[in-house]
Structure 1
Amino acid sequence: MENATRAVIIGNRRITGLTADVIAELIAEVGPLWHERHQKRLASRPRKRAVGAGAKHRLVFVDRLLATLVHLRHATTHDVLACWFGVDRSTITRAISEMRPLLAERGCTISPDVRLRTLAEVVGHLGETGKTGIIDGTEIRVRRPATGRKDRDKFISGKTKQNAVKAMVVTDAKGRVLFCSPTRPGSCADITHARQSGLVKLLTNGPAVEILADAGYQGLGAQTGGRVVTPPHRKFKKSAPDWYEEMYERQRKAHSSRRIPVEHGIAHLKNWRALARHLGRREHMSDIVQAVAGLLSQQQTADLIPTPQM
């Protein structure tokens, strides 16, 4: 790729979803990791040539990173990216498969010096700062498994009646993404996903924090000593008094207003078109979701840092 085209991609935030400064930080951080893994992979098998001999990469590291960012941001097909970068489609596929795990392992950036990679670190961060966390699940449509495959129906979501995978998202009270879990099949309930992720144990044995959740997590409050706050239960199913209807509606709206930032955080995630609908392999979805969450959180952190006045 020519330097002028590369400069346009880096300089236009609409193409990658990231500013030039954030992309520069990614290059400085991920570049050495990619080079180290590449050299390790070359040295891990018997070779007739010395490591580093032979044909050189037609797609340099910076272009590999940019191709991955464009793919995640706009769900651009590998064929289109191959034409754009002037290489074969298999080269783009291999480049994205190498970059995606590296981006997923970075975690969510809270500040230039703080990065959260696990749910335990998120709970500890909320406990240390005294902030409120908000939790919710989001679904991503995927292709239906082939006919005759075992557990073919486990990806069918009970909510949307479509084949999907589900991820658990944790944000702070301002909607900043703190954590995004690996994906589960769409048939998995939100509360089951939270339990399988170890949230109950972390909250029970960890610091006193407040986690806001919707009605899909009702029951976790009793298991965590009130640390998970859900909407109030409806005590009257039929013939409820007028005063109770007014009180219940007021409490429900108050709780919804407090937890609305997580919906905004999920909306920012879904702006990355790779999370709108995935047509590739379902096995890659966990890395894709966590990679996008890490990139988004880093850009959100960069946006909060004031630019120096000239």
Structure 2
Amino acid sequence: MVGNESRAAIISDRRITGLSADVIAELVAEVGPLWHERHQVKLGCRPRKRAVGAGAKHRLVFIDRLLATLVHLRHAATHDVLACWFGVDRSTITRAIGEVRPLLAERGCTVAAGVRLRTLAEVIGHLGAGGKTGIIDGTEIRVRRPAVGRKDREKFISGKNKQNAVKAMVLTDETGRLLFYSPAQPASCADITHARQLGLVKHLANGQPVEILADTGYQGLGAQTGGQMVTPPHSKFKKNPPDWYEEIHERQRKAHSSRRIRVEHGIAHLKNWRALARHHGRREHMSDTIQAVAGLLSHQQNVTRKPDQRQ
């Protein structure tokens, strides 16, 4: 395990974990008891010859497990490197990340102190209650190519980038505050199909009126949602449009683009976490990784926002 000085250095330097010391302290207080509870349940569920809690103690205490997971998510550090840093075996790091990452993924996106959004329905309700505008977009994360002969191997090939990737849907408010990050889907899934699978049309129909800005990948949802999904205007001329129309159409397109640019900034902040820039691990862990990073980033953003921006 790391010494107290090394642990303090990791916590105090935001460049290492991407989080401030105050946020890490809150994570320890919140996630620590959940990890301990699940660990005790796991120990009690299997046949035992000793009482729960007997035997050797963990060399890697919970705070070190949390820090190893944060460094892995922030910098995509390999388990071997983390094992050398924390002075334990590689399998210990793998087990620690596998236990802590799902707990971080379940936290949801923080929008205020003690207020978290975990589902798309909660996000739509939050936007509707506050009369706010949402911005939606899809993003792709490169992953390792599936093995030869694996079923549905071609599903991960992106039609846009011609690379093996997974896709997720991001939803922010008009200020760029992260509200929702969907589980991963193979990149061959179209943006509009992914939105329908997540139930976006149903949630918009059943909730309060909400304006959602989207790009051309979601054209067609406007009619299905009563105009709540706003996409760039269609060109009414397929060939030889008049000059005056081209000028108006370009002005409308740029106005729409300038309103939804905030979601691009939100995606850029997420991709600063190297685990989402390009994923080298197992694809089945992608959903937990995506949602864990989104929860951590939104928590840090909420802490660093000025008081008047948290309304």
Q: Distance in 2 between matches of 1:251 and 1:113?
A: 39
Q: Distance in 2 between matches of 1:263 and 1:130?
A: 22
Superposed, which structure 2 residues align to 1:263-274 within 5 Å? 263-274=264-275
Q: Secondary structure at the match of 1:139?
A: strand
Deviations 1:97-133 (A, max 9, x none): 0000000000000000211000000000001111100
Q: Distance in 1 between matches of 2:237 and 2:80?
A: 58
2:166 aligned with 1:165: yes
2:286 aligned with 1:285: yes
Partner of 2:121: 120
Partner of 1:95: 96
Partner of 1:16: 17
Number of aligned residues: 306
Q: Distance in 1 between matches of 2:206 and 2:122?
A: 13
1:14 maps to amino acid: R
Q: Distance in 1 between matches of 2:111 and 2:3?
A: 35
Superposed, which structure 2 residues align to 1:26-105 within 5 Å? 26-105=27-106
Partner of 2:144: 143
Q: Distance in 1 between matches of 2:271 and 2:177?
A: 14
Q: Distance in 2 between matches of 1:114 and 1:36?
A: 23
Partner of 1:133: 134
Q: CA deviation at 1:305?
A: 4.7
Q: Distance in 2 between matches of 1:99 and 1:63?
A: 11
Q: Distance in 1 between matches of 2:172 and 2:14?
A: 23
Deviations 1:73-117 (A, max 9, x none): 000000000000000000000000000000000000000021100
Partner of 2:6: 5
Q: CA deviation at 1:233?
A: 0.7
Q: Distance in 2 between matches of 1:286 and 1:40?
A: 24
Q: Distance in 1 between matches of 2:122 and 2:284?
A: 25
Q: CA deviation at 1:237?
A: 1.4
Partner of 2:189: 188
Q: CA deviation at 1:205?
A: 1.4
Partner of 1:230: 231
2:6 maps to amino acid: T
Deviations 1:188-246 (A, max 9, x none): 00000000000000001111000000000000000000000000011111110001100
1:294 maps to amino acid: G
1:245 maps to amino acid: E
Q: Distance in 1 between matches of 2:225 and 2:51?
A: 57
Q: Secondary structure at the match of 1:8?
A: helix
Gaps of 5+ in 1: none
2:203 maps to amino acid: L
Q: Secondary structure at the match of 2:192?
A: helix
Q: Distance in 1 between matches of 2:58 and 2:102?
A: 20
1:99 maps to amino acid: V
> Normalising to structure 2: TM-score of the pair?
0.98
Partner of 2:263: 262
Q: Distance in 1 between matches of 2:63 and 2:288?
A: 20
Q: Distance in 2 between matches of 1:207 and 1:158?
A: 35
Gaps of 5+ in 2: none
Q: Distance in 1 between matches of 2:211 and 2:25?
A: 36
Q: Secondary structure at the match of 2:36?
A: helix
Q: Distance in 1 between matches of 2:271 and 2:7?
A: 25
Q: Distance in 2 between matches of 1:226 and 1:217?
A: 12
Partner of 1:207: 208
Q: CA deviation at 1:304?
A: 1.3
Deviations 1:243-295 (A, max 9, x none): 11001100000000000000000000000000011111000000000000000
